[in-house]
Amino acid sequence: MIIEISDAVLQQVPAYTSPEDVKVDFAVWLYERERLTLAQAARLCGRTRLQFQKKLKERGVHLHYSIEDIQVDVQNM
């Protein structure tokens, strides 16, 4: 799917200096709403999972890590 955003619209939002910024924010937005996993969101904006985690941190977004996830991790140790 291709989403087109005109340069005129991008220029009205100072935070966006490039189309890449828009892709990252969109991926973060979908991740925050639990529409995408970490890996899916990272792939959407062309980043590794670690790079995407850094973008989440920059924006104050926490990882989705439930008690069940912790219990599974502890069992797998």
- Show me where the domains of the chain are located: 7-75
More confident site: 6 or 39: 39
d(CA 77, CA 35): 29
**Which pLDDT belongs to residue 39?**
92
Which residue, among 77, 43, 75, 49, has the nearest Cα to 63 in the 3D structure? 49
Q: Give the pLDDT confidence score for residue 30 in this predicted structure.
A: 96
pLDDT tens-place string over residues 24-69: 999 999 999 999 999 999 999 999 999 999 999 999 999 988 788 7
Do residues 22 and 12 lie in contact, with contact meaning Cβ atoms separated by under 8 Å? no
> What pLDDT shows up at residue 55?
96
pLDDT of residue 51: 97
